[in-house]
Amino acid sequence: MALQGIDVSHIQGVIDWEAVAGDASNIKFAYVKATEGTSFIDPEFSVNYAALESVGIKRGAYHFFHPSDPIPAQVQNFLKVLGDMQQGDLPPVLDVEVSNGLSPDSVADNILQWLEQVKNALNCTPLIYTSSGFWNGSVGANSLFATYPLWIAEYTTRAAPILPQGASDYAFWQYSSTGSINGIQVPVDLDYFNGSEDNLNLLG
């Protein structure tokens, strides 16, 4: 059985993480928005990230990517806000869902720059969050991304998501954007981890 998780940002407002931890859905992990572009910092990140550690839910952070913004500044924004990763933290995620008008080759090149710089800084392999529709049209198949685990967004009744070009497997699947979880007053994204709890622990 896939492990249940969520991902959140300031859009979810103030979250009661004790209530989330006690929810019947048995939340095992949560990804929290940290940054976007070169300067935006999610106002709820620091509170959410600290609370996750206190309630014992595995945590990870993500950056919303703007391919047209300077890559080093985006990396710096994310790393400064994230700070030092703690043992057991999940690898960071690059949220890729806009092209900012750039060509697929340019988008792909800039994605790879962010991933490599963060990988080198944190000594862990980041994940890529995207949807097949966006990736196929705005990035395309590229063997250079094969070593970066995939978090796929697709809302469907199928037993598994359709993967983007060039992908053979996925680590996480965001399967709903309308979840209802104790402690969160508005709809929240729901995710599955494609593996066991031991597999999840090996990620971070």
Enumerate the active-site residues.
97
Instruction: Provide the CB-side half-sphere exposure for 130 (13 A, CA).
Output: 30
